[in-house]
């Protein structure tokens, strides 16, 4: 009798099946099979927060198939992901499939390799109910907040809003940074640079202060007083200090640091990073010469810095054979994991160090190669010897004032021969070194120029993906698996938008945050949210219980909600209405501005009684644009002339206005404001033959996503697959086989 092994993702099935052989049948649950119902709270608060789970709609046929296979199997190995969510999915599978206790085998593996999977099969365990309860507590907390708080937001701010426990905190972080930027008052300050020349070459020194005390120059008069004092004075090298500084490598990646570094170095958004990391973990066919299908990295949702003895030893052998003994430290590097981190599995590392990125580059997509190389290099570097840097610092005096200069050069590259930190100012190659000419104490230098320069202090920068994830991690808000969903959710709900890779709060986000701070301060309090994460950790470790944590939370929350509902103050949190000068030709009302999927439009304020809408651009303006020969405002990249819109047998296209002297043409594309379901980049609208319209990823051909139907920008709540909008319809549908989920979309959004 064959055994059954159930994983979460279908993409893992073929990889694992190839390792286990004919004695095992491998199937996928495709994520959760049970959840709380959407139509009701689904939590009996009076019965110690007892959840009422139901089978997820659209999963009926899958559950039926899994149940049949589980009944016929000798043993059922539950191999869902090695985290809270995965543990809970295994528990839900046991209940949904009615698996007898004697058949249940819970197995986990940190990497999808033959060795790891066979070792897991040999060492099964029971389902960890403490970990399951930690996941249930999070799910119930989020359901209570969302279900109880959302109607209040509909009443006070805007209908259709959704409240999220951790998402509200993330929005507050971005809103408060925007407030800091608005309130920032620039302060004037001045710097002075002296261009000097000694016997060995030129030196640039910056003003430090008077004597040994550092001085701030806050005005032009301050700066000119120094410039005038040193004019014609003797510049003398007062002291020269040389030292050798050691720079240690960064530890291997956790989920947070991987997202930060990939954002900085590769320019990837967190959603794209995690998608590619998932692909690398689940297995890629790297060719028969390298063992066929292979999971290339360890599990990518972790905040642990632990490295297995086997991996550390493999790294040592690679480093000493590839670089030499001096590139390996005297003692193995062991990195300390943060106190509140979950140490269930290792740091993110390559599962097989011998698979160098360039060896398998042809087998990977561009994104896969870039991220794998980053992970591989970071891990190997983390086990290497420190870099040694020669530093030199010199103080130069003139008329009682001190100027300072410094420089460095790489004495021994160490780990820098392989990996450069994104925030490092020292380089591993000659082009990046900054050297000073030889300076001797007492040497007199010749000044060719002493130049003052005015500056103003700048406000704190807006958060981008890397800095927001770093802040969330430092404050203990969320966990590795939640960073990407947090960011995706606050953007999708319209609380935050992207501007040049930075996050900017929308008016909706600012108003909602102000209400939350006023009425529900605990929900958006950093410390409260971080403490809640600690309590969930305590449930997982067995030091606390689900019921006690939920009771403590709900007591304060329900009291705040009752107070807010009873509040009849006149303070309004409603979104201000932007009026137009357009009169509704159906009911005579002054139309207002609404924002939909494709931007702003004019809508009747009496909706849904009157559903009249109009474009905000008038027919006269459209005619004027056509009269100007459809000039696009873009320039031809070949000759610099204007690009115009032309019509051809296959539809419209961009053409150079300088035709026929310049025959440059370009396809017309349109950003529809939706992320690619495959890689997270932008989806753009294109024109095909016979004037047909289709949609594809802007990164094509690196990403091969394309569809005749428009992506809706959201996933199916039943099976997690992307939703698509049929042409001419107001229905978003799921295309997954056997799902059938449909959702009506407001026609005004189109």
The predicted-structure confidence for 342-391, as pLDDT tens digits, reads as follows 556 799 999 999 999 999 999 999 999 999 999 999 999 999 999 999 99
Distance separating alpha carbons of residues 240 and 669, to the nearest angstrom: 60
Q: Is 623 exposed, middle or buried (0-12, 13-18, 19+ CB in 10 A)?
A: exposed
The pLDDT assigned to 627 comes to: 37
Domain chopping of the chain, boundaries: 3-126, 136-184+503-566, 188-248+387-456, 263-382, 579-621, 631-749
Model confidence pLDDT, tens digit, residues 474-531: 999 988 888 999 999 999 888 999 998 899 999 999 999 999 999 999 999 999 999 9
Residue 619 has pLDDT above 70, yes or no: no
H-helix segments, 411-544: 465-475, 483-492, 507-519, 526-541
Mean pLDDT of the 268-285 span: 92
Superfamily of the domain at 188-248+387-456: Topoisomerase I, domain 3 (2.70.20.10)
Question: Given this structure, which CATH class describes domain 263-382?
Answer: mainly alpha
The pLDDT assigned to 117 comes to: 93
Whole-angstrom CA distances from 560 to 171, 522, 555, 668 are 20, 9, 9, 52
**DSSP string covering 31-61, please?**
S-SEE--SSS--EEGGGTTEE--EEPTT-HH
Residue 643 has pLDDT above 90, yes or no: no
Residue 667 has pLDDT above 80, yes or no: no
Q: Which residues are catalytic?
A: 299
Mean pLDDT of the 189-201 span: 94
Q: Please list, in sequence order, all residues whose beta carbon lies within 8 angstroms of the beta carbon of residue 72, skipping any fewer than 6 positions away.
A: 1
Encoded tokens for 418: 């392989």
| Higher-pLDDT residue of 552, 668 | 552
- CB atoms under 10 Å from CB of 241, counted, come to 11
Question: Whose CA is closest to 105, among 94, 117, 116, 89?
Answer: 94
Model confidence pLDDT, tens digit, residues 34-63: 999 988 999 999 999 999 999 998 899 999
| Higher-pLDDT residue of 311, 666 | 311
Chain centroid to Cα 247, Å, comes to 28
Buried b (16+ CB within 10 A) or exposed e, 584-605: beeeeeebbebebbeeebbbbe
Q: Which fold has domain 3-126?
A: Rossmann fold (3.40.50)
Mean pLDDT of the 198-202 span: 89
Using pLDDT thresholds of 50, 70 and 90, give the confidence band for residue 339: low
Residue 578 has pLDDT above 90, yes or no: no
| Higher-pLDDT residue of 686, 569 | 686
At residue 709, what are phi and psi to the nearest 5 degrees? -95, 145
Mean pLDDT of the 616-620 span: 58
Residue 642 has pLDDT above 60, yes or no: yes
| Higher-pLDDT residue of 575, 175 | 175
The pLDDT assigned to 571 comes to: 64
pTM: 0.74
Q: Please list, in sequence order, all residues whose beta carbon lies within 8 angstroms of the beta carbon of residue 234, skipping any fewer than 6 positions away.
A: 398, 444
The pLDDT assigned to 621 comes to: 46
Residue 689 has pLDDT above 90, yes or no: no
Q: Long-range contact list for 440-443, CB < 8 A, 24+ apart?
A: 440/237, 440/240, 441/237, 441/238, 441/239, 441/240, 442/236, 442/237, 443/198, 443/199, 443/236, 443/237
Find out whether 275 and 678 touch, Cβ atoms under 8 Å.
yes
Side by side, the strands of the sheet bearing 706-707 are 669-675, 682-687, 693-697, 706-707
Residue 618 has pLDDT above 70, yes or no: no
Model confidence pLDDT, tens digit, residues 560-572: 999 998 886 656 7
Q: Strands 631-635 and 642-648: what pairing?
A: antiparallel
Model confidence pLDDT, tens digit, residues 233-260: 999 999 999 999 999 999 999 999 999 9
How high is the mean pLDDT of the chain?
88
Distance separating alpha carbons of residues 641 and 637, to the nearest angstrom: 8
Find out whether 501 and 516 touch, Cβ atoms under 8 Å.
no
| Higher-pLDDT residue of 431, 309 | 309
The pLDDT assigned to 625 comes to: 43
Find out whether 388 and 411 touch, Cβ atoms under 8 Å.
yes
Which residues, listed in sequence order, are joined to residue 395 by a DSSP beta bridge? Answer: 239, 404
The pLDDT assigned to 747 comes to: 36
Question: Given this structure, which CATH class describes domain 136-184+503-566?
Answer: mainly alpha
The pLDDT assigned to 431 comes to: 37
**DSSP string covering 185-211, please?**
---EEEEEEEEEEETTEEEEEEEEEET
% of the chain beyond a pLDDT of 70: 91
| Higher-pLDDT residue of 14, 613 | 613
Please state which of the ranges 9-13, 35-39, 42-46, 644-648 shows the lowest mean pLDDT: 644-648
Whole-angstrom CA distances from 663 to 94, 639, 660 are 65, 10, 6
Residue 290 has pLDDT above 60, yes or no: yes
Residue 651 has pLDDT above 90, yes or no: no
Residue 632 has pLDDT above 90, yes or no: no
Q: Please list, in sequence order, all residues whose beta carbon lies within 8 angstroms of the beta carbon of residue 405, skipping any fewer than 6 positions away.
A: 203, 204, 205, 206, 393, 394, 396, 436
Q: Please list, in sequence order, all residues whose beta carbon lies within 8 angstroms of the beta carbon of residue 679, skipping any fewer than 6 positions away.
A: 272, 275, 276, 367, 697, 699, 703, 705
Distance separating alpha carbons of residues 364 and 586, to the nearest angstrom: 57
Mean pLDDT of the 599-614 span: 89
């Amino acid at each position: 009798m064959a055994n059954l092994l159930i994983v979460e993702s279908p993409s893992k099935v073929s990889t694992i099946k190839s390792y286990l052989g004919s004695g095992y049948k491998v199937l996928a649950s495709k994520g959760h099979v049970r959840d709380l119902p959407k139509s009701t709270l689904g939590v009996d608060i009076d019965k110690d927060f007892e959840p009422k789970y139901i089978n997820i709609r659209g999963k009926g046929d899958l559950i039926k198939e899994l149940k049949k296979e589980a009944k016929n199997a000798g043993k059922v190995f539950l191999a869902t992901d090695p985290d809270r969510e995965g543990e809970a999915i295994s528990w839900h599978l046991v209940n949904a499939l009615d698996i007898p206790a004697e058949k249940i085998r819970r197995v986990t593996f940190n990497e999808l390799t033959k060795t790891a999977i066979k070792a897991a099969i040999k060492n099964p365990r029971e389902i960890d109910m403490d970990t399951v309860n930690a996941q249930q507590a999070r799910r119930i907390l989020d359901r209570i907040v969302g279900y109880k708080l959302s109607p209040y937001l509909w009443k006070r701010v805007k209908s259709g809003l959704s409240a999220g426990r951790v998402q509200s905190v993330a929005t507050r972080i971005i809103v408060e940074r925007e407030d800091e930027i608005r309130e920032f008052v620039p302060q004037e300050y001045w710097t002075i640079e002296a261009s000097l020349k000694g016997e060995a070459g030129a030196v640039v020194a910056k003003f430090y202060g008077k004597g040994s005390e550092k001085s701030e120059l806050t005005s032009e008069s301050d700066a000119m007083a120094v410039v005038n004092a040193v004019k014609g004075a003797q510049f003398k090298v007062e002291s020269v200090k040389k030292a050798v500084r050691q720079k240690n490598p960064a530890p291997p990646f956790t989920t947070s640091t991987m997202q930060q570094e990939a954002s900085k170095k590769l320019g990837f958004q967190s959603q794209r990073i995690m998608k590619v990391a998932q692909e690398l973990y689940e297995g890629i066919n790297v060719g028969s010469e390298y063992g066929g299908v292979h999971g290339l990295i360890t599990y990518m949702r972790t905040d642990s810095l632990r490295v297995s003895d086997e991996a550390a030893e493999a790294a040592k052998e690679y480093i000493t054979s590839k670089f030499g003994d001096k590139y390996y430290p005297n003692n193995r590097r062991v990195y300390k994991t943060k106190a509140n981190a979950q140490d269930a599995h290792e740091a993110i590392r390559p599962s097989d160090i011998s698979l160098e990125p360039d060896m398998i580059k042809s087998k990977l997509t561009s994104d896969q190669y870039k991220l794998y190389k980053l992970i591989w290099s970071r891990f190997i570097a983390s086990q290497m010897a420190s870099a040694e840097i020669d530093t030199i610092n010199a103080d130069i005096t003139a008329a009682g004032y001190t100027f300072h200069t410094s420089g460095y050069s790489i004495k021994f590259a160490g780990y820098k021969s392989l990996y450069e930190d994104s925030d490092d100012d020292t380089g591993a190659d000659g082009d990046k070194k900054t050297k000073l000419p030889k300076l001797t104490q007492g040497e007199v230098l010749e000044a060719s120029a002493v130049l003052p320069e005015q500056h103003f202090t700048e406000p704190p920068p807006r958060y981008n993906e890397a800095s927001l994830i770093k802040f969330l991690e430092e404050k203990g808000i969320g966990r590795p698996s939640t960073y990407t969903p947090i960011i995706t959710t606050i953007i999708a709900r319209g609380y935050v938008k992207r501007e040049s890779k930075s996050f900017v709060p929308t008016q909706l986000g600012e108003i909602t945050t102000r209400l939350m701070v006023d009425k529900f301060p605990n929900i958006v309090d950093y410390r409260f949210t971080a403490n809640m994460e600690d309590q969930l950790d305590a449930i997982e470790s067995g030091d606390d219980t689900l019921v006690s944590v939920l009771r403590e939370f709900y007591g304060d929350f329900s009291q705040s909600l009752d107070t807010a509902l009873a509040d009849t103050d006149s303070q309004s949190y409603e979104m201000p209405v932007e009026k137009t000068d357009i009169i509704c030709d159906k009911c005579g009302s002054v139309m207002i501005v609404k924002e939909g999927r494709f931007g702003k439009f004019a809508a009747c304020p009496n909706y849904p009684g009157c559903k009249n809408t109009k474009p905000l651009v008038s027919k006269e303006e459209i005619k004027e644009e056509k009269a100007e020969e459809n000039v696009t405002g873009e320039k031809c990249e070949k000759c610099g002339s204007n690009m115009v819109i032309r019509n051809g047998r296959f539809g419209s296209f961009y053409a150079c206005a300088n035709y026929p002297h310049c025959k440059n043409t370009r396809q017309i594309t349109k950003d529809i404001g939706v992320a690619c379901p495959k890689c997270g980049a932008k989806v753009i609208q294109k024109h095909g033959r016979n004037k047909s319209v289709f949609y594809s990823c802007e990164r094509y051909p690196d990403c091969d996503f394309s569809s005749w139907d428009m992506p809706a920008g959201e996933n199916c709540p039943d099976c997690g697959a992307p939703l698509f909008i049929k042409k001419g319809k107001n229905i978003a549908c799921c295309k997954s086989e056997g799902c059938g989920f449909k959702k009506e979309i407001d026609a005004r959004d189109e």
